Amino acid sequence: MSKNIRKLVYCAVCIALSVVTGSLTLFELPNGGAITPFSMLFASLPGFFFGPYWGIFSGIAYGILSFVLKPYFLSVIQVICDYVLAFGALGLTGFFYKKNHGLFMGYTAACIGRFVFAVISGVAFFADYAPAGMNPLVYSMGYNGSYIFSEAIITLLVVWRVKPVYHAIQHIRMLANEDAVPAATAKI
């Protein structure tokens, strides 16, 4: 299997895992946004495995798929901001994939990136939801931060406190980047 096909397969699996875990909501806010178990982590793993190009590409693909499965359309710009840019930002992990603690730093940057685009969208398109007299920027930061950073903190705690999870991610990363996966050596 060529290296690019292997990367594409790993990215597709990560996107599929993001979709599945994204449908398992732990808590959903009334005007959109939810805390899901690890959907942002799975969407950010291609960047950690292969770098920013593959990470951003996978994040955008996940965002488009999220829009197809559960669309919320106000305008083309809103869809681009909420789905393409916000989920594409999950690929920011790719800028940290060669660094020590790259998953921790990259995932944190990815969540902050998603938060920034969610806040921009909130101010630009959902300012009417802010309570009377409240600054729409403050409202958008609080609203979007409540679910994005809650999921991020839960995920970071699990990944770094449950060592088998961390080691599994590292092992999958190693397998994803091997030149050739050895065949099974079982005796017949």
Write out pLDDT tens, residues 34-88. 999 999 999 999 999 999 999 999 999 999 999 999 999 999 999 999 999 999 9
Write out pLDDT tens, residues 117-172. 999 999 999 999 999 999 999 999 999 999 999 999 999 999 999 999 999 999 99
Domain assignment of residue 22, yes or no: yes
Spatial separation of the C-alpha atoms in residues 99 and 104, rounded to whole Å: 10
Q: Which domain holds residue 44?
A: 3-176
Domain assignment of residue 64, yes or no: yes
Position 101 scores a pLDDT of: 92
Domain assignment of residue 183, yes or no: no
Q: Are 94 and 48 in contact (CB under 8 A)?
A: yes
Position 54 scores a pLDDT of: 98
Q: Does position 183 have pLDDT exceeding 60, yes or no?
A: no
Tokens of 175: 């397998």
For residue 84, the domain's CATH number is: 1.10.1760.20
SS3 state at 28: strand
Domain assignment of residue 12, yes or no: yes
Domain assignment of residue 55, yes or no: yes
User: What is the pTM (predicted TM-score) of this model?
Assistant: 0.91
